[in-house]
Amino acid sequence: MALCQNPNFNLSYELDRVIPGKRRLIVLDPIFSELEKLNLKGNPKDRIEARVAIEFVHKYCQRWPSEYSHRNIDFVLLHYGKEKDGIIATNDRKLKRMARKNGIKLLYIRNQRFLELQ
C-alpha cells in the first residue's frame, strides 16, 4: 500500500526512468475512496500510508470517475487497465498475477528502491 517506505526512493526519478516522456497518472474514484476510508478508519500504519498516497494523488494524479460501482476494486482496476490499455501500479501479488493473466502492463516497486515495468 505504501508508496515506498525507503526514504532514499525517489518516485519522480523512477517514473521518468521507466516511463520517459509524457504520461498521465490517474486514480479511479473507488480507489481514492478506499484511501480516504483507510485514512479515517485504518490502523495507525495504514492511516499514515493512506495520507501519503492521498497527498501524492492530489499533487501528481488526475481522478477519474468509474462507471462501475463494483465492490471489488481489483475488478475495476483490471477492467480499466484492459479497456484503456493502461498500466496498473500495484505491489499486490494477487492483482499482479491477475493482470499478467489478462495481458495488462504492471508497474511495481522492486527491492523498496526501484520501479519495475512489466
Q: How many CB atoms lie within 10 A of CB 118?
A: 11
Which three three-digit cell numbers place residue 100? 499478467
SS3 8: coil
- Beta 114-117 vs 105-110: how paired, if at all? antiparallel
Q: Where are the domains of the chain?
A: 22-66, 74-118
Q: For the chain, what is the mean pLDDT? A: 88
> At residue 48, does pLDDT exceed 50?
yes
**Distance (Å) of CA 76 to CA 5, 19, 54, 97:** 26, 23, 19, 15
Mean pLDDT of 91-108: 95
Mean pLDDT of 33-47: 92
**Distance (Å) of CA 3 to CA 52, 59, 65, 71, 112:** 8, 14, 22, 23, 9
- The predicted model scores a pTM of 0.80
Confidence of residue 67 (pLDDT cuts 50, 70, 90): confident
